[in-house]
Amino acid sequence: MKNILITGGTGFIGSHTCLNFLEEDLNITIIDSLKNSSRNVLKGIKKILELSNKYDENKINFYEGDIRNTDFLRKVFLQAKNKGNPIDGVIHFAGLKAVGESVLNPIIYWDVNVNGSINLFKIMEENNCKTILFSSSATVYGNSQKIPFNESASIKPFNTYGFTKAAVENILNNMFDSDSLKWRIGILRYFNPIGSHPSGLIGENPNHKPENIFPYICQVASGLREKLYIFGNDWPTPDGTCYRDYIHVVDLAEVHKIALKYLFARDSANLTLNVGKGKPYSVLELVNTFERVNSLKIEHEFSFRRDGDIATSYADTSKMYNLLKWKPSKSLEDMCKDGWNWQNNLVSIKD
């Protein structure tokens, strides 16, 4: 791995992955439009690396720009080549991810998530860059499957965001089928990534009211929101709230390096993998754990079920384990402790 392009590299999962690669002394090129992140993320990454004497500014190139802009992408690839460090693999995080917003604004979601991806694949092809990891989502399984979700289950998304993720998966599969020797493709279906780097220097920082539960809990803890509304306590689950497969973002970052190494070791590949812990926790268990490890109270109230939710979602992780010989190691306690450390730090920085 000489130089990996990380699209969406200043976002939540992207920033932790950039850090993971830089800690291993790998070269990265980041593209981000900063639509849902900021340049401060780069400062956070730098600080963490400086603490362990690992910061080398030559290993990181940042370009602000939009993946829908073909000329911009072309320039990034060309500049890397001219510097003698051509891009030889891509991790594609850039995109829009809010389910509710996707239903209200389908055109922008199809444009960014699908047109943006097509642009990127075009420029990769032009540059004979054949290795890509794509950020897909458990949301592509929809709700009509056997739990835990297995990668061979049928794909039945039921919201615009999910349709765009499934569409990009289809495009990648068509690319592979057209000429299998030309591509090394990894489609990673993440479950519920939460938490932050333990330093508290990078983490999730949504620029709008969070739809996801974890940033919402953190904002209640910090006083930015009054209380958490738990969407339903009448689900067919042991405590009546929904069960999800939470995975620490630091573990999730790590799997990108391992999956990329797996792809680079082969002439050709087309891999689809679930990435979760394979162990579900209920909303109430998440809230109780957050309260216990951080010694604070999360005001909450039960409200109506949210449209589109399912009772239980978790991953069958056997394929990931068998192929990559890797398992996430961080616990729900780690996720809650590290996530709060970041949020707490963020509030004090803002103050």
Binding region for ligand NAD (CB under 6 A): 8, 10-14, 31-37, 66-68, 93-97, 112, 116, 135, 137, 190, 193
Q: How far is the CB of 258 from ligand WQD (least distance, A)?
A: 20
What string marks each residue from 182 to 201 as x (binds ligand WQD by CB under 6 A) or -? ----------x---------
Tell me, yes or no, if 246 is annotated catalytic: no
User: Which entry of ligand NAD, ligand WQD, none binds 99, CB below 5 to 8 A by partner kind?
Assistant: ligand WQD
Give the one residue of 66, 151, 211, 291 binding ligand WQD; rule: CB under 6 A: 211
Spatial distance between the Cα atoms of 300 and 295, rounded to a whole number of angstroms:
16
Helix, strand, or coil (residue 313): coil
Helix, strand, or coil (residue 44): helix
Does residue 94 touch ligand WQD according to CB under 6 A?
no
Residues 6+ apart with CB under 8 A from 301: 227, 228, 229, 230
Q: Return contacts of 142-148, CB within 8 angstroms, 24+ apart.
A: 143/310, 147/312, 147/313, 147/314, 148/278, 148/314, 148/315, 148/316
44 vs 162, beta carbon nearer ligand WQD: 162
User: Which entry of ligand WQD, ligand NAD, none binds 12, CB below 5 to 8 A by partner kind?
Assistant: ligand NAD
Q: Which residues of 221-258 are buried (b: 16+ CB within 10 A; e: fewer)?
A: bbebbeebebbbbebebeebbbbbbbbbbbbbbbbbbe
66 vs 334, beta carbon nearer ligand NAD: 66
What string marks each residue from 254 to 293 as x (binds ligand WQD by CB under 6 A) or -? -----------------------------x----------
Yes or no: say if 312 and 147 are a contact pair by the CB < 8 Å rule.
yes
Q: How far is the CB of 244 from ligand WQD (least distance, A)?
A: 5
User: Which entry of ligand WQD, ligand NAD, none binds 218, CB below 5 to 8 A by partner kind?
Assistant: none
Spatial distance between the Cα atoms of 179 and 163, rounded to a whole number of angstroms:
25
| From 63, 109, 141, 161, active-site residue | 161
For 259, the token pair is 């999956």
31 vs 60, beta carbon nearer ligand NAD: 31
Radius of gyration of the chain, Cα coordinates, nearest whole angstrom: 20
User: Which entry of ligand NAD, ligand WQD, none binds 14, CB below 5 to 8 A by partner kind?
Assistant: ligand NAD
Tell me whether residue 349 is exposed, middle or buried, using C-beta atoms within 10 angstroms of its C-beta: 0 to 12, 13 to 18, 19 or more: exposed
Spatial distance between the Cα atoms of 324 and 259, rounded to a whole number of angstroms:
7
69 vs 180, beta carbon nearer ligand NAD: 69
| Residues forming the active site | 161
Q: Which residue ranges make up the site for ligand WQD (CB under 6 A)?
A: 97, 99, 137-139, 192, 211-213, 216, 228-231, 242, 244, 283, 306, 309, 313
